[in-house]
Structure 1
Amino acid sequence: MKLFNFVGMAMLCLSFTSIRAQDLKDLRAKPDTIISVQKEQPLNIKTIRPVVPKLNLEVDYWKHWTKFGINLNQASFNDNWKGGGVGSIAVGLNANHKSDYTRDNFNFVTEVDLRYGKIKNTNNIAKKNNDRIFWDNKLSYKLSANWALFTSVTFESQFDAGYKYKTVNGKDTIDYIENAFMAPAYLTESFGLEYKPSNEFSLRFGTGTARQTFILDERVKPRSGEGFFQKYGYYRDPNNPTVGTGERFGVKEDRSFANALAFQLTGNLDKNFTDKLNVKARYNLFADYEKISDPTHRLDVTVTAKVTRVINVNLNGIMIYDPDVISRVQLSQSLAMGIVYSLPK
Structure 2
Amino acid sequence: MKQLSLLFIATILTLSSFAFETGTDTVKYWKSKYESAIGFSQTSLTNWTKGGENSVSVKAMINIFEDYSKGKFTWNNYLGAAYMIQKQQSTNWRKADDKLNLFTKAGIYAWKHWDYTGLLEFKSQFSNGYNYPNDSVYTSKFMAPGYFQLSIGLSYKPVDYFSVLLSPIGARLTVVNDQTLSDQEAYGVKKGEKSLLQAGASVNAIIKKDLFKNVSLLSKLDLFNNYLKNPQNIIVSWENNLLLKFTKYISVNLATMLIYDDNILYKDPKDTSTDKGSPKTQFMETLSVGFTYTLSR
Question: In structure 2, what is the equivalent of residue 334 of structure 1?
Answer: 286
Once the two structures are superposed, residues 119-145 of structure 1 have per-residue CA deviations (whole angstroms, 9 ceiling, x without a partner) of: 111121221111000001000001122
Letter in 1 for 2:110: L
Q: How does 1:1-345 map to 2 (within 5 A)?
A: 58-60=25-27, 61-77=29-45, 84-166=51-133, 173-174=134-135, 176-221=137-182, 223=183, 245=184, 247-290=185-228, 291-326=230-265, 327-344=279-296
Which TM-score applies when normalising by structure 1?
A: 0.71
CA distance in 1, matches of 2:166, 2:231: 15
Choose between structure 1 and 2 for higher RCO, CA contacts under 8 A separated by at least 6 residues: 2
Q: TM-score w.r.t. structure 2 length?
A: 0.82
Shift of 1:329: 1.2
Quote the Cα distance in structure 2 between the aligned partners of 1:278 and 1:289. Answer: 36
**Count of matched residue positions in the alignment of Structure 1 and Structure 2:** 260
Find the aligned partners of 2:219 and 2:26 in 1 and give their Cα distance: 32
The structure having more radius of gyration, on CA atoms, is 1
Indicate if the aligned counterparts of 2:179 and 2:192 stay in contact, CA closer than 8 A.
Answer: no
Tell me the distance in 1 between the aligned counterparts of 2:254 and 2:288. Answer: 7
Instruction: Supply the distance in 2 between the matched residues of 1:75 and 1:305 (Cα, whole angstroms).
Output: 21
| Alignment partners' CA distance in 1, 2:210 and 2:36 | 18
Which has the larger displacement, 319-328 or 108-117?
A: 319-328
**Change over 3 Å in CA distance of 1:126–1:218 after alignment to 2:** farther
Measured after TM superposition, the shift of residue 96 of structure 1 is 1.1
Contact 1:181 / 1:217 at 8 angstroms: preserved in 2?
A: no
Amino acid at match of 2:261: D
Aligned Cα root-mean-square deviation (Å): 1.8
Structure 1 CA distance, aligned partners of 2:122 and 2:262? 20
Cα deviation, 1:166-206, whole Å, max 9, x if unaligned, reads 4xxxxxx5253211011000111111000110111111011
Alpha-carbon deviation of 1:249? Answer: 1.1
Unmatched segments (≥5 aa) in structure 2: 1-22, 266-278
Amino acid at match of 2:258: M
